[in-house]
Structure 1
Amino acid sequence: MTPEDRLAEAAVLLRRWPTTQARLRERHVEGPDGRCLGCTSATHPAPRWPCTLALLVTWSPGPT
């Protein structure tokens, strides 16, 4: 199973949780530096946007 297959499978499961989808859409947005504002870490910089969670919610149709 490829990483894309796993992401697609997770997106299907996420469809059951519209509130979680909305929160992910709300928080995982691009910051002024091109990094995800929702991915925080005390030891690493945030990943470039779109992060994996932003992609996941994009692949999982639901409330916008």
Structure 2
Amino acid sequence: MNQITDLGAEFRKSSLSGAHDNCVEVAMNLPGVIAVRDSKDQSGPVLAFTPAQWRSFVGRVRTGSFDA
């Protein structure tokens, strides 16, 4: 099993994603770690970010930095 999941990560999917399966799930309940996983592969790999890294990523998404 995945170490992050074993630590009690509580993953949630955005309510905006509805019934679609092509989503990521985020767990923000672990101290000092933001965990992200593929909603289709809940036992698969988990990416771990510091809160600062996560804020930076989300900020860049919001400003369109990753848009083609």
Could you state the TM-score of these two structures normalised by the residue count of structure 1? 0.32
Q: Which has the higher helix share?
A: 1
Bigger relative contact order, structure 1 or 2 (CA pairs below 8 A, ≥6 apart): 1
